[in-house]
Amino acid sequence: MDYNFNSKPLLRLACSVQTYDWGRPGSDSLVARLYSLNSGGEVELAKSYAEFWMGTHESGPSFLVQSGLENGNGVESGSFKSWVLKNPHVLGDKVLLKWGCDLPFLFKVLSVAKALSIQAHPDKELAKRLHKLQPNIYKDGNHKPEMALAITEFEALCSFISLQELKSVMHNVPEIVELVGSAAASQVLDINKQDGEEKVKSILRSVFTQLMTATKEMTAKAISDLKIRLHDESEVRPLTEKEQLVLRLEKQYPGDIGVISAFFFNYVKLNPGEALYLGANEPHAYISGECVECMATSDNVVRAGLTPKHRDIQTLCAMLSYKLGFPEILKGFPLSPYITRYLPPFDEFEVDCCILPQGASAVLPAVSGPSVFLVTVGEGTMHAASQIDAVTEGDVLFAPANTEISITTSSELQLFRAGVNSRFLQSI
């Protein structure tokens, strides 16, 4: 049946799920719940459900659902990406001109039970090279700036610690000095205020590369020594949060260099409603919790630790920016009494969080780019032109550019909107 979607401004999507090892079991995973409600997919209670993908990336495609058949019970009617290619006007002129006939962002929900790999995402130039050289590992030629918005308390490692903290690590973690050598450790300790930023980055790059390329035997011994030392010291002093985290990571990934490299990164704890954004070539690892994530349409990841997957340590160590200091945490800003916007410094995307109490209503003004909506709590209705859609938890809807939407609720309703960055859309 060839269904005419063009007559409806709001389109329902049936979306994909990823079951990676680090995900939460189906019995305790928001991803599993949303996937089941969205597409009717059967959830295995013991299986690890990690990511719910909403967008056009071929690694986790979305499909159109015939409008009017609600709550994920409609009939899939072709690929969302194919439909966008045939109907490019839905993206808006500015988006088409910059990114062509594709959605420039990929929207996800993550359910994290154990740490993801220590990783970074390449910039566009490196992404193109890696994709050409190893297309089976690096799936596309795009960069992947991203933002994680916490739904629950959310933990992550992100970016390199400050120079002062780095010197403290060299003083207080002898196992790292053991791995990198006393000469390299002394280089860090001897850095002074007169040294320029590039010299500091060069020393950090050298020390971090030596750490990450240590042999398995040296790494295993260093981690064993670390565990014994921390156990002994815990008898006479409380361990720091970072030390406690390192011991947690060791239980998840015994003998992995990523365990000890955690001392080099900022330990970030997000409260629900706080967001962390990551540009190209910034090291990070999500540790636990559930979040909404948005990124440029890419699946490129360069990994170097805390993973059973392919590692590309030399590429990662060469590509990192080596910026030092704590990352910016976004708390969002209010668009209206019920809508908060998170606006990272990337053209491809922004995220709105809309929390409506029972009986409330809100209007989302028309924007000149496409939007994807995800309902995570409650039920209500979405109005666009003459179309009225009942929506409930797990529903995902696509709105073309220049579509004004009003929302009313029959219970408390929480939904997220991913769209192209409004600063880009409003620029001349």
pLDDT reported for residue 175: 97
Average pLDDT over residues 62-66: 90
Identify the band that residue 67 occupies on the pLDDT scale cut at 50, 70 and 90: low
Tokens 């019995």 correspond to what residue?
27
Instruction: Answer whether CATH 2.60.120.10 is correct for domain 333-426.
Output: yes
Distance in angstroms (rounded) separating the CA atoms of residues 324 and 72: 45
pLDDT reported for residue 428: 59
Distance in angstroms (rounded) separating the CA atoms of residues 311 and 206: 19
User: Under a CB-based contact definition with an 8 Å cutoff, are residues 64 and 13 in contact?
Assistant: yes
Please enumerate in sequence order all residues whose Cβ is within 8 A of that of 167, keeping only pairs 6 or more positions apart, or say none.
188, 189, 191
User: Under a CB-based contact definition with an 8 Å cutoff, are residues 78 and 2 in contact?
Assistant: no
* Whether residue 303 lies in the annotated active site: yes
Same fold, 12-90+103-158+270-312 and 333-426: yes
Condensed to tens digits (0 to 9), the pLDDT of residues 4-37 reads 555 678 999 999 999 999 999 999 999 999 999 9
Condensed to tens digits (0 to 9), the pLDDT of residues 233-245 reads 999 999 999 999 9
Whether pLDDT at 111 is above 60: yes
- Hey, which bits of 22-124 come out as E strands? 24-25, 48-49, 51-54, 63-65, 76-79, 105-112, 118-120
| Better pLDDT: 328 or 59 | 328
User: Under a CB-based contact definition with an 8 Å cutoff, are residues 293 and 108 in contact?
Assistant: yes
- Which candidate in 24, 33, 303, 311 is catalytic? 303
231-261 as b/e: b if 16+ CB within 10 A: eeeeeeeeeeebbebbbbbbeebeebbbbbb
Average pLDDT over residues 175-188: 95
pLDDT reported for residue 381: 95
Whether pLDDT at 225 is above 60: yes
pLDDT reported for residue 100: 94
- Which CATH superfamily includes the segment(s) 165-261? Phosphomannose Isomerase, domain 2 (1.10.441.10)
pLDDT reported for residue 325: 94
pLDDT reported for residue 410: 86
As a CATH number, domain 12-90+103-158+270-312 is 2.60.120.10
Q: Mean pLDDT lowest for which of 137-141, 159-163, 253-257?
A: 137-141
Q: What is the mean pLDDT of the chain?
A: 92
Whether pLDDT at 3 is above 50: no
What are the domain boundaries of the chain? Answer: 12-90+103-158+270-312, 165-261, 333-426
Whether pLDDT at 262 is above 80: yes
Average pLDDT over residues 300-324: 92
pLDDT reported for residue 75: 54
Q: What percent of the chain has pLDDT over 90?
A: 83
Average pLDDT over residues 307-319: 92
pLDDT reported for residue 141: 83
Identify the band that residue 264 occupies on the pLDDT scale cut at 50, 70 and 90: very high
